[in-house]
Amino acid sequence: MILNCGVTLEKRKLLIQLDGDPQPSVFDQVVAYDAGADVVMSYGGVTPEAIREKVHGAIFTRGPKDLHRTAIFIGGSDVALGERLLAEARKHMLPQFGLRVSVLLDANGANTTAAAAVRAAARHLDLKTTKALVLAATGPVGQRVALLLARQGAEVRLGSRQASKAAAVAEAIRAKEPQAKLEAVAADPAGDLSTALAERTLVVAAGAAGALLLPSSARRSCPTLRVAIDLNAVPPVGIEGLGIADKAVEYDGVLGYGALGVGDLKMKIHKAAIARLFDRNDLVLDAEEVYALGEGL
Amino acid sequence: MILNCGVTLEKRKLLIQLDGDPQPSVFDQVVAYDAGADVVMSYGGVTPEAIREKVHGAIFTRGPKDLHRTAIFIGGSDVALGERLLAEARKHMLPQFGLRVSVLLDANGANTTAAAAVRAAARHLDLKTTKALVLAATGPVGQRVALLLARQGAEVRLGSRQASKAAAVAEAIRAKEPQAKLEAVAADPAGDLSTALAERTLVVAAGAAGALLLPSSARRSCPTLRVAIDLNAVPPVGIEGLGIADKAVEYDGVLGYGALGVGDLKMKIHKAAIARLFDRNDLVLDAEEVYALGEGL
Amino acid sequence: MILNCGVTLEKRKLLIQLDGDPQPSVFDQVVAYDAGADVVMSYGGVTPEAIREKVHGAIFTRGPKDLHRTAIFIGGSDVALGERLLAEARKHMLPQFGLRVSVLLDANGANTTAAAAVRAAARHLDLKTTKALVLAATGPVGQRVALLLARQGAEVRLGSRQASKAAAVAEAIRAKEPQAKLEAVAADPAGDLSTALAERTLVVAAGAAGALLLPSSARRSCPTLRVAIDLNAVPPVGIEGLGIADKAVEYDGVLGYGALGVGDLKMKIHKAAIARLFDRNDLVLDAEEVYALGEGL
């Protein structure tokens, strides 16, 4: 594109948004534009079978020297599907001909939100000695928070209404990270949370919008607690008493973070990850790479 | 985005197009671009259930000071569905945190077309004393024309092939505007239209593309008629004898408007409404607000 | 749009991508952006019934003097469907009012790929005296290659696993081009290809990605062969022994082209065709017009 002011712009930065949900996320599109993508090409209802055509469309349209101006973002609410889409996308690149594009996986915002939550905790706690409780650990964000905390050396208790579901997630994390110190526990907000909270210095609530996971009374009954992070942006919040805009606000000696408080950092990480995609054409940004980006901010 | 000529542009103006039809309207997208939206994010097949995620994607991605650069347009051919989408969208804004974006409802172009038709009539008639016949008054545009005319004080006769359907629309308008002077009438273009036309000074044909609603003979048999407005852009026109580009063209003492003639004003109103969305983040532009915008042009 | 550097840009170049496949092609979008479209409005799952609304959206939104800034691209993997979409699109233009936009048909890249393949052959052969074998001639690209070669005067043998399917395609081409010199033949890559290859100076393989159509031994057993063009971009290639990046590379006296080798020219033709759409508002670019564009490059 040539503007009349005499400037030749480079090829536009095209982001191919592949979303497993029927309609591609508005959130991810807005962030992509604000992170510098010139165009977001959005696809909903994406299945693994549909990936080959998309990757070929990405890698066969521009020469290797311009392929860092095309990238793929994998989103959608289903993290497991996102992981399959990512694996499929990698399979159809042709690196032997220099024909590949960079890919970011952030299904359900799981990688960026989890990275931001763990970074926020790391501001106040030494993660190597942290004893964490992740509430709604079976959800997409909860799984990633647990994984990243475990990788940083924390002792992680995974809480879910059904302990068996939490145990299945613990098993999946252990498959990736055999050294992980993990424990599954039943955590019903309407029941007794004292076992789940015992000895915890960090609690992260990663539940669905509008779901209360930790009542004030339970939070106050845990004397070891130092940091409480709530990732639910829609009132009522997940950790009772916290505000969604809280950013290290003290409540009875506990530093509280709300979704918008963590959200600043999540958004910075998300945007940095999108921007990073256009630096090179050979990146694969998954949980660890996204967390590493967060460390640099 | 920084251009090499040394200019920093503001955040891009993002318009989220929510369309109840399976595929989002081309028309609305083109107008949105011409009205100054930088990016139109288009969604088809939008249901009330899908609105929450869209609104959250809009309000949680930019800080309050930039939210006037994100807006929502509600389109689609089904005006009743559009109204439900609008109601749902309003429900998920979080004004208490400054987290909201402006919204324009123009399902089926009904608000802008109806506003333009009524503005065109107002150039020649005092609406307070106008006796109008709206043909195809049960359609999405016809309903809005009848509503706006009634709100301006006109006496409005609603015509439809089946009088019972026209009566149902009259009932719905009366629910919104108890003072409305309304009457339902059977109006079959192949039959006798003399009852429908009796004493009318204004006739507006708001039928489907290519449907003839008022034969020349019927039009000429109505001595009181002063203004005839046809909103059908595809030949054959709805009011026989008029041209689609007519703009106050006289036929036997009647001033005729065709769809393209009214279309100029409709387009101005439509573009002004889109542009207005990006002035502030707290607007809700429905029939009356759109009509008011038309008065200012 | 007014940039701060004091420049007023013209109305944006909007390309409406109509794709018969469930999801619109990534490839076509990237090429459209690189060819100068400012915005690509992408639609998948497009049926002939959906065309009217799209064309009306295109022609009723801008005045005749700006309609060359709106254009339609028809893609998708089904060339026959693409042709129906094109016919339908033409039907809904209103040239009598100056209300039309230019249209390019390139379903499955068939027109641009076929044009590029035939242009590549014409660099080395006099097409009037060429004896060609088109493998996978029943596929969308193969059909176009056969049609264009026949129109240039070549003698064309159409090969397919089932001779009856090849015969049906020959029949369809003859309906468009009664002078065409055509012959249908069974061509099973696992069987004997000597009849299919007899006396051929040109072979074009237009099969699906990853399908081997011509083994090395068969190729080497044809002494008359001068040029071999393989349009399959995904290994294994369609003509054994050729490289996908080959561009007139010699193999035993035969000049070989791979998909990427032809791809350079295909891409130039594709981009030129897109750019051409925005020069005027009355173009219909189908096989012949696209081939003619290729002659000028």
If asked whether residues C50 and C193 sit together in one domain, one would say no
Chain A, 223-242: which have a CB under 8 Å from a chain B CB? 233-234
Q: Are A160 and A228 in contact (CB under 8 A)?
A: no
Indicate the residue among A44, A73, A105 that finishes a domain. A105
Tell me whether residues B3 and A6 touch, CB distance under 8 A.
no
- What is the C-alpha R_g of chain A? 20
Mean pLDDT of A39-48: 98
Q: Chain C residues with CB inside 8 Å of A4's CB?
A: 7, 9
Q: Chain B residues with CB inside 8 Å of C60's CB?
A: 27, 233, 260, 263
State pLDDT tens for residues B277-296: 999 999 999 988 999 998 88
Q: Are B257 and B116 in contact (CB under 8 A)?
A: no
Mutate to test the interface with A, among B61, B65, B72, B97 (most CBs of A within 10 A): B61
Domain range for residue A212? 110-262
Q: Chain B residues with CB inside 8 Å of A23's CB?
A: 43, 45-46, 50, 53
Query: Is the sign of the CA dihedral C119, C124, C129, C135 positive or negative?
Result: negative
Alpha helices (H) in C63-109, listed in sequence order = 79-91
Within a domain: residue B41? yes
Residue A117 vs residues A5, A142, A195, A253, B114: alpha-carbon distances, Å: 44, 10, 23, 19, 50
Within a domain: residue B67? yes
Mean pLDDT (chain C, rounded)? 93
Distance, in Å, from the CA atom of A175 to the CA atom of C83, rounded to the nearest integer, reads 52
Residue B278 structure tokens: 């990006």
C-beta atoms surrounding B255 within 10 Å: 21
Asked if B1 reaches chain C (Cβ–Cβ under 8 Å), the answer is no
Indicate the residue among C105, C140, C160 that finishes a domain. C105
Query: What is the end-to-end Cα distance of chain A in Å, rounded?
Result: 33
Tell me whether residues C6 and A11 touch, CB distance under 8 A.
no
Q: Is the ipTM of this complex over 0.90?
A: no
Q: Where are the beta strands (DSSP E) in C76-153?
A: 102-105, 131-135
Residue-level pLDDT at B9: 63
Query: For residue B166, what is the enclosing H or E element?
Result: helix B163-176
User: Min CA distance, A73 vs chain B (Å)?
Assistant: 16
pLDDT at residue C20 greater than cutoff 70: yes
Residue-level pLDDT at B4: 45
Within a domain: residue C275? no
Q: Chain C residues with CB inside 8 Å of B26's CB?
A: 16, 41, 53-54, 56-58, 61
Asked if C97 reaches chain B (Cβ–Cβ under 8 Å), the answer is yes
Q: Are A160 and A166 in contact (CB under 8 A)?
A: yes
Question: Could you tell me the CATH number of the domain that includes residue B60?
Answer: 3.40.50.10280
Secondary structure (3-state) at B161: coil
Which partners does chain A have (≥3 C-beta pairs < 8 Å)?
A: B, C
Q: Chain A residues with CB inside 8 Å of B6's CB?
A: none
If asked whether residues B100 and B120 sit together in one domain, one would say no
Q: Chain A residues with CB inside 8 Å of C37's CB?
A: none
Asked if A162 reaches chain C (Cβ–Cβ under 8 Å), the answer is no
Residue-level pLDDT at C235: 78
pLDDT at residue B2 greater than cutoff 60: no
If asked whether residues C127 and C97 sit together in one domain, one would say no
Residue A278 structure tokens: 């256009």
C-beta atoms surrounding A18 within 10 Å: 31
Of A29, A34, A260, the CB nearest to B41: A29
Within a domain: residue A234? yes
State pLDDT tens for residues A168-208: 999 999 999 999 999 999 999 999 999 999 999 999 999 98
Residue-level pLDDT at B6: 45
Asked if C190 reaches chain A (Cβ–Cβ under 8 Å), the answer is no
Per the omega criterion (within 30 degrees of 0), is the bond before B236 cis?
yes
If asked whether residues B57 and B192 sit together in one domain, one would say no
Q: Are C145 and C204 in contact (CB under 8 A)?
A: yes
Number of domains in chain C: 2
Query: For residue B114, what is the enclosing H or E element?
Result: helix B110-122
Band (pLDDT 50/70/90 cuts) for residue A1 is very low
Nearest one of C139, C98, C129, C97 to C201, comparing CA atoms: C129
Q: Chain A residues with CB inside 8 Å of C34's CB?
A: 11-12, 61-62
3-state SS record for chain A:
CECCCCCECCCCCEEEEEECCCCCCHHHHHHHHHCCCCEEEEECCCCHHHHHHHHHHHHCCCCHHHHHHEEEEEECCCHHHHHHHHHHHHHCCEHHHCECCEEEECHHHHHHHHHHHHHHHHCCCCHHHCEEEEECCCCHHHHHHHHHHHHCCCEEEEEECCHHHHHHHHHHHHHHCCCCEEEEEECCCCCCCHHHHCCCCEEEECCCCCCCCECHHHHHCCCCCCEEEECCCCCCCCECCCCCCCEEEEECCEEEECHHHHHHHHHHHHHHHHHHHCCCCCCEECHHHHHHHHHHC
Tell me whether residues B33 and C43 touch, CB distance under 8 A.
no
| Vertex C54 angle, CA C48 and C60, to 5° | 140
Question: Which residue in chain B has the smallest CA separation from C1?
Answer: B36
Count Cβ–Cβ pairs < 8 Å, chain A vs chain B: 63
pLDDT at residue C238 greater than cutoff 50: yes
State pLDDT tens for residues C254-280: 999 999 899 889 999 999 999 999 999
Nearest one of A77, A15, A74 to A48, comparing CA atoms: A74
Q: Which amino acid is at B155?
A: E
Within a domain: residue A3? no
Which partners does chain C have (≥3 C-beta pairs < 8 Å)?
A: A, B
For tokens 């990605």, name the residue: C209
Tell me whether residues C244 and A97 touch, CB distance under 8 A.
yes
If asked whether residues A228 and A157 sit together in one domain, one would say yes
Choose between C219 and C234: higher pLDDT. C219
pLDDT at residue B101 greater than cutoff 70: yes
Nearest one of C107, C72, C108 to C91, comparing CA atoms: C72
Indicate the residue among C46, C74, C105 that finishes a domain. C105
Residue partners of C61: CB distance under 8 A and separation at least 6: B26, B27, B30, B31, B34, B267, C70
State pLDDT tens for residues B168-214: 999 999 999 999 999 999 999 999 999 999 999 999 999 988 889 99
State pLDDT tens for residues A62-88: 989 999 999 999 999 998 899 999 999
pLDDT at residue A131 greater than cutoff 70: yes
Mutate to test the interface with B, among A28, A30, A247 (most CBs of B within 10 A): A30
Q: Are A262 and A231 in contact (CB under 8 A)?
A: yes
Q: Count the alpha carbons within 13 Å of B64 in the hemisphere toward its beta carbon.
A: 10
If asked whether residues B101 and B146 sit together in one domain, one would say no
Residue-level pLDDT at A9: 64
State pLDDT tens for residues C51-95: 999 999 999 999 899 999 999 999 999 988 999 999 999 999 999
User: Min CA distance, B129 vs chain A (Å)?
Assistant: 48
Residue-level pLDDT at C1: 39
State pLDDT tens for residues A237-283: 899 999 988 999 999 999 999 998 998 899 999 999 999 999 999 99
Of B25, B234, B263, the CB nearest to C57: B25
Tell me whether residues C61 and B6 touch, CB distance under 8 A.
no
State pLDDT tens for residues C176-202: 999 999 999 999 999 999 999 999 999
Tell me whether residues C34 and A41 touch, CB distance under 8 A.
no
Question: Could you tell me the CATH number of the domain that includes residue A252?
Answer: 3.40.50.720
Within a domain: residue C206? yes
Asked if C2 reaches chain B (Cβ–Cβ under 8 Å), the answer is no
| pTM for the whole structure | 0.88
Within a domain: residue A182? yes
Asked if C29 reaches chain A (Cβ–Cβ under 8 Å), the answer is yes
- Bridge partners (DSSP) of residue A178 are none
Asked if C186 reaches chain B (Cβ–Cβ under 8 Å), the answer is no
Q: Which amino acid is at A93?
A: M
Distance, in Å, from the CA atom of C37 to the CA atom of C19, rounded to the nearest integer, reads 17
If asked whether residues A98 and A137 sit together in one domain, one would say no
Distance, in Å, from the CA atom of A205 to the CA atom of C150, rounded to the nearest integer, reads 69
Q: Are C186 and C158 in contact (CB under 8 A)?
A: no
If asked whether residues C21 and C161 sit together in one domain, one would say no
User: Min CA distance, A11 vs chain C (Å)?
Assistant: 7
If asked whether residues A42 and A65 sit together in one domain, one would say yes
pLDDT at residue B264 greater than cutoff 90: no
Distance, in Å, from the CA atom of C234 to the CA atom of A56, rounded to the nearest integer, reads 9
Tell me whether residues C5 and B9 touch, CB distance under 8 A.
no
If asked whether residues C130 and C98 sit together in one domain, one would say no
If asked whether residues B196 and B72 sit together in one domain, one would say no
Q: What percent of chain A has pLDDT over 90?
A: 85
Count Cβ–Cβ pairs < 8 Å, chain A vs chain C: 63
Asked if C60 reaches chain B (Cβ–Cβ under 8 Å), the answer is yes
Parallel, antiparallel, or unpaired for β B254-257 and B247-251?
antiparallel
Distance, in Å, from the CA atom of B239 to the CA atom of A167, rounded to the nearest integer, reads 71
Tell me whether residues A7 and B11 touch, CB distance under 8 A.
no
Residue-level pLDDT at B1: 39
Residue-level pLDDT at A236: 80
Within a domain: residue A6? no
Asked if B57 reaches chain A (Cβ–Cβ under 8 Å), the answer is yes
If asked whether residues A95 and A114 sit together in one domain, one would say no
Question: Which residue in chain C has the smallest CA separation from A70?
Answer: C30
Q: What percent of chain B has pLDDT over 70?
A: 97
Mutate to test the interface with A, among C9, C30, C106 (most CBs of A within 10 A): C30
